[in-house]
Structure 1
Amino acid sequence: MMDLKALWSARSQWFSSAGRERHIKDYMTLTNQLVWKRHASFLTVAALAAFYYDPVLAAACYILIALTEVLDERLGRESAAWDGVDSSVGDSILRRIGRNTALSATAISIFVISLALQQTSGGHFTPLFFLFSASLFAAMYNSQMMSVLLLRLSIYGVAFLVIAFLDIIRFFPPLDSHVWLDFFTIMLVLYFLADISLKFYQNYQKQLEQLKLIREENERTKAAYEIKSQFLSTVSHELRTPLTSLKASLDLVNKGALGEVPEHLKRAIGIAAKNGETLAVLIDDLLDLQRIEAGEMKFRFKPVNVNDLVTEAVESTADFAAKLGIQVTITPCVEDGRINGDPSRLIQVMNNLLSNALKFSEAGSTVNVRVETLGSRIRVSVEDTGVGIPEGAKERVFGKFTQVDSSDIRKVGGTGLGLNIAKQIVERHDASIDYVSELGVGTTFFLDFDRLEDTQHERGSLQAPAKVA
């Protein structure tokens, strides 16, 4: 049994506007969802009663029950439109729910009692089973509103008692008669229905409490997430300005614009410049991640020639490749290869893939970028002959702040954000990114895009709308 505290809590929720609205909407939503299941049951029972008992009475009761279903359907639309603010509307809906419940339960009770009256011998298994089924259905699906459930079960309970006393009044049997056995069995059934109804109601209340806790936790999580995003954005912006000045100053020193750099300072200044570049990349990645998660990263889509895109990306990383002693080759697409995309964002993705391929390759090796058409799709592949990626590492490869080699002595550093950002940019293009790899042999990352048709080229050249992800 529910304790007094739980009952009082449930009562308080019911009488609050938000609590009552939730109960009413849950009740009417489930009522309308189960309308065809109820109709199928009513029609089956009416057909059986019409064949074995009185067809006129069966048809009349079915029509009355169907009428209450129509009223419930109309009431469901009104309750869905109720905002929960106007209490008079809530009162009206409650009264009509009670009226419909009384009509429906009374029609069903009259129907089963009439079947029992037509049976002069052999017990009342059929009408009692119909009534038990209706009561169990109510216990299972009407637990959102205890007052409505009690009203329906009270009417069914009267019908149970009428049938239970029917043969006792008819025959006045001795106590050892099966008639009395049927009577006590019906009493046990009533107890079972009352108990199971309470259990369903308790479970519904627990679900509401759990839902409330989940919502509260969700609100706390959202608040923490917003604070984190604001912190990252503020820190990143505050760091960018002084870092830009430091990088510019170091560049001037390295180029000799402020005079020749003493030999013993060149190494230290070079390290400072390199770390400044690393920090700038980290800040840019954090800002990009924050924009994507906040839905503030803008995309300007237009038809893009993939061969030209790849050539531009390779040229932008040429200096880096030369320093590492790695050759980058391009295998262009022979057919017309155009996609709908944001060139600057796609260059960002390509630069990340090329940078990773170069970092994990040995001096003297080759990185190949291939463009090919695959039916209605275009694939861009970046293939290296580096160390490879172990199996089962995909979650770390595309995760946030993760590295496949997360040890303190890893060869290649990084923020662990590049591929995660690249994946999100690619997905904003309705494309996909994946890879195949073998340890000690190399890795191939590939991007698959939808290929533009000629008519789409013309349409895209006339208009290149901006899109916010």
Structure 2
Amino acid sequence: MVGLKALWSARSEWFNPEGREQRIKDYMVLTNQLIWKRQASFFAVAVLAALYYDPVWALTCYVIVSFAEILDQRLGRQSEAWDGKDTVLGRKILKRIAFNTAFSATAISLFIVSIAVQQTTGGHFTPLFFLFSAALFAAMYNSQMIAILALRLSIYGIAFIFIAFLDVIRFRPPLNSHIWLEFFTITLVLYFVADTSLKFYLGYQERLGQMKLLKEENERTKAALEVKSQFLSTVSHELRTPLTSIKASLDLANNGALGDVPEHLKPVMAIAGKNAKRLANLIDDLLDLQKIESGEMAFRFEPVNVNELVAEAVEATSGFASKLRIHVTTVPCAADGRIMGDRSRLMQVMQNLLSNAMKFSSEGSEVEVRVETFGSRIRISVEDQGVGIPKDAKDRVFGKFTQVDSSDNRKVGGTGLGLNISKQIVERHKATIDYVSELGSGSTFFLEFDRLKESDGARAGLEPVAKVA
């Protein structure tokens, strides 16, 4: 009695939508999704009832139940526009859900009870099966809001009890009669429906908890990524200024601009200069990675002649090729080979592919750069005669801070960022980067772009160049 009084005193909170926003939306989404499944069930029951019982009453009940479905559909459209913040609208939606539930459950129960009343012999298997199906359907798909589920099942429960007592009151049978057996069976069915409903409700509660944990974990991950990005940006910028001065001083000393370097210091100065350059490249890569991940890297798209791009990239890396005694050949395409791209960023990608091909090739070998057109596509490939790449190493090839050979005594150094940055730049061009390789026989990395048409090029020349972040 005390519990009922407490429940009644808290009636102002019955339709409070705060904290129930996700439940309400889930309930209405599922209600809308299952409309045709419910309609098919109602129609099948109505047809059977019309064939074997009163067709007029069956049609009337079907119309009433269908009207309840129309009310649910109208409410569904209203709930879709609800942002979860308007508590007045939220209360209105909750009240209408409760009204629609009571109306629908009552209509279905009266329909099924009327079938039981029309049966005078042979038990009530058909109406009880229909009612059990409706209750089980509610338990499975209305578990988002326990109060609404309890309301519907309570109405179904009254119908169950009425049907259970119907023949008991009619015939007043002895306790060993099959009518009492049917009565006790119905009570077990009621327990089964209640238990099933509880299981589905607890399952939904668990899923909500898991979703909450995932959201919290996602927010923590975003915060950690933001902190990491800011840290990389700050540290990289703080390191770049003094490192630039150190590198410039070492370059001047090694080039003899500050006087002759003693012979016994030359090896040490060369090592220092080499490592300064390596650190500068690392900082540049870290800054590029931070810009890409934060969406701050701007792209200036314009028509780019691929043959000219390749020739410029080969020329830019010619000093590195001469140092390693690598012979670089180019095979341009005869057709018009233009793409829409950011020239400086594509140069960065090409230089990375060329320097990798040279570093992993043996002295005196050859690197070939080829440009080919395939219909509306254009391909740039860089082929080397180096060590090749093992199978199933693609994740490491294009990963961050990873290299195929990650051992301490690897022959080729690097940050492990170059190809990851290149891949992201290429993808911003809506292009692809990939490779084919055979261990011990070399590798071929290739880029594929959409080929620029004449009309596209003309428009690009007239329109302002876009910046994409």
- TM-score range relative to shorter protein: over 0.9
What residue number does 1:328 align with?
A: 328
What residue number does 1:263 align with?
A: 263
What residue number does 2:20 align with?
A: 20
The answer to whether the 8 A contact 1:14-1:23 is kept is no
Amino acid across the alignment from 1:343 = R
What residue number does 1:149 align with?
A: 149
Q: TM-score, normalised by structure 1?
A: 0.94
Matches within 5 A, 1:191-340: 191-340=191-340
Q: Is 1:167 matched with 2:167?
A: yes
Tell me how far 1:451 sits from its aligned partner. 1.2
- Call closer, same or farther: CA 1:295–1:14 in 2, change over 3 Å: farther
Tell me how far 1:43 sits from its aligned partner. 1.6
Amino acid across the alignment from 1:341 = G
What residue number does 2:120 align with?
A: 120
The answer to whether the 8 A contact 2:305-2:339 is kept is yes
Q: Whole-Å Cα distance in 1 between the matches of residues 396 and 58 of structure 2?
A: 67
Give CA deviations for 1:134-180 in whole Å, capped at 9, x if unaligned: 10010011111111101100000111111111111222222222211
The answer to whether the 8 A contact 1:304-1:339 is kept is yes
SS of the aligned residue for 1:122 comes to coil
Q: Whole-Å Cα distance in 2 between the matches of residues 16 and 132 of structure 1?
A: 31
What residue number does 2:413 align with?
A: 413
The answer to whether the 8 A contact 1:401-1:417 is kept is yes
Q: Is 1:400 matched with 2:407?
A: no
Greater shift after overlay, 76-85 or 270-279? 76-85
Amino acid across the alignment from 1:393 = A
What residue number does 1:68 align with?
A: 68
Tell me how far 1:231 sits from its aligned partner. 0.5
The answer to whether the 8 A contact 1:301-1:464 is kept is no
The answer to whether the 8 A contact 1:26-1:144 is kept is yes
Tell me how far 1:186 sits from its aligned partner. 0.8
Q: Whole-Å Cα distance in 2 between the matches of residues 265 and 226 of structure 1?
A: 44
Q: Whole-Å Cα distance in 2 between the matches of residues 252 and 334 of structure 1?
A: 44
Give CA deviations for 1:99-152 in whole Å, capped at 9, x if unaligned: 100110000001101111122211211111111111001001111111110110
Give CA deviations for 1:377-423 in whole Å, capped at 9, x if unaligned: 11111000001111111111111100100000000000000001111
Q: Whole-Å Cα distance in 2 between the matches of residues 64 and 262 of structure 1?
A: 103
Q: Whole-Å Cα distance in 2 between the matches of residues 462 and 52 of structure 1?
A: 77
Tell me how far 1:79 sits from its aligned partner. 2.2
Q: Whole-Å Cα distance in 1 between the matches of residues 121 and 111 of structure 2?
A: 18
What residue number does 1:359 align with?
A: 359
Tell me how far 1:14 sits from its aligned partner. 9.2
Tell me how far 1:55 sits from its aligned partner. 2.0
What residue number does 1:8 align with?
A: none
Q: TM-score, normalised by structure 2?
A: 0.94
Tell me how far 1:215 sits from its aligned partner. 1.3
- Call closer, same or farther: CA 1:454–1:403 in 2, change over 3 Å: same
Q: Whole-Å Cα distance in 1 between the matches of residues 310 and 125 of structure 2?
A: 79
Q: Whole-Å Cα distance in 2 between the matches of residues 133 and 32 of structure 1?
A: 19
Q: Unaligned regions of 5+ residues in structure 2, if any?
A: 1-12
Q: Unaligned regions of 5+ residues in structure 1, if any?
A: 1-12
Tell me how far 1:290 sits from its aligned partner. 0.7
The answer to whether the 8 A contact 1:296-1:468 is kept is no
Identity %: 72
What residue number does 1:9 align with?
A: none
Q: Whole-Å Cα distance in 1 between the matches of residues 431 and 372 of structure 2?
A: 15
What residue number does 2:3 align with?
A: none
Greater shift after overlay, 246-255 or 96-105? 246-255
Amino acid across the alignment from 1:291 = K
Amino acid across the alignment from 1:388 = G
SS of the aligned residue for 1:409 comes to coil
Q: Whole-Å Cα distance in 1 between the matches of residues 280 and 15 of structure 2?
A: 58
- Call closer, same or farther: CA 1:162–1:16 in 2, change over 3 Å: closer
What residue number does 1:37 align with?
A: 37
Greater shift after overlay, 143-152 or 64-73? 64-73
- Call closer, same or farther: CA 1:273–1:228 in 2, change over 3 Å: same
Amino acid across the alignment from 2:285 = D
What residue number does 2:97 align with?
A: 97
Q: Whole-Å Cα distance in 2 between the matches of residues 280 and 14 of structure 1?
A: 65
Q: Whole-Å Cα distance in 2 between the matches of residues 455 and 466 of structure 1?
A: 18
Tell me how far 1:16 sits from its aligned partner. 7.8
The answer to whether the 8 A contact 1:79-1:93 is kept is yes
Q: Is 1:133 matched with 2:126?
A: no
Greater shift after overlay, 304-313 or 175-184? 175-184
The answer to whether the 8 A contact 2:25-2:80 is kept is yes
Q: Is 1:178 matched with 2:178?
A: yes
The answer to whether the 8 A contact 2:15-2:95 is kept is no
- Call closer, same or farther: CA 1:238–1:14 in 2, change over 3 Å: farther
The answer to whether the 8 A contact 2:42-2:62 is kept is yes
- Call closer, same or farther: CA 1:381–1:464 in 2, change over 3 Å: farther
Q: Whole-Å Cα distance in 1 between the matches of residues 291 and 311 of structure 2?
A: 28
Give CA deviations for 1:56-75 in whole Å, capped at 9, x if unaligned: 21221121111111211221
Matches within 5 A, 1:424-439: 424-439=424-439
Q: Whole-Å Cα distance in 2 between the matches of residues 137 and 76 of structure 1?
A: 19
How many residues end up aligned between the 2 structures?
Answer: 457
SS of the aligned residue for 1:264 comes to coil
Amino acid across the alignment from 1:277 = K
- Call closer, same or farther: CA 1:329–1:49 in 2, change over 3 Å: same
Amino acid across the alignment from 2:264 = H
Q: Whole-Å Cα distance in 2 between the matches of residues 219 and 18 of structure 1?
A: 22
The answer to whether the 8 A contact 1:372-1:380 is kept is yes
Tell me how far 1:262 sits from its aligned partner. 2.1
- Taking only aligned residues, the RMSD between alpha carbons, in angstroms, comes to 1.6
Q: Is 1:372 matched with 2:367?
A: no
Give CA deviations for 1:404-459 in whole Å, capped at 9, x if unaligned: 00000000000000001111111111111111111111100111111122211111
Tell me how far 1:463 sits from its aligned partner. 2.3
Tell me how far 1:17 sits from its aligned partner. 5.3
What residue number does 1:345 align with?
A: 345
Give CA deviations for 1:198-235 in whole Å, capped at 9, x if unaligned: 11111111111111111111111111111111110000
Q: Is 1:49 matched with 2:49?
A: yes
Amino acid across the alignment from 2:247 = K
- Call closer, same or farther: CA 1:288–1:17 in 2, change over 3 Å: farther
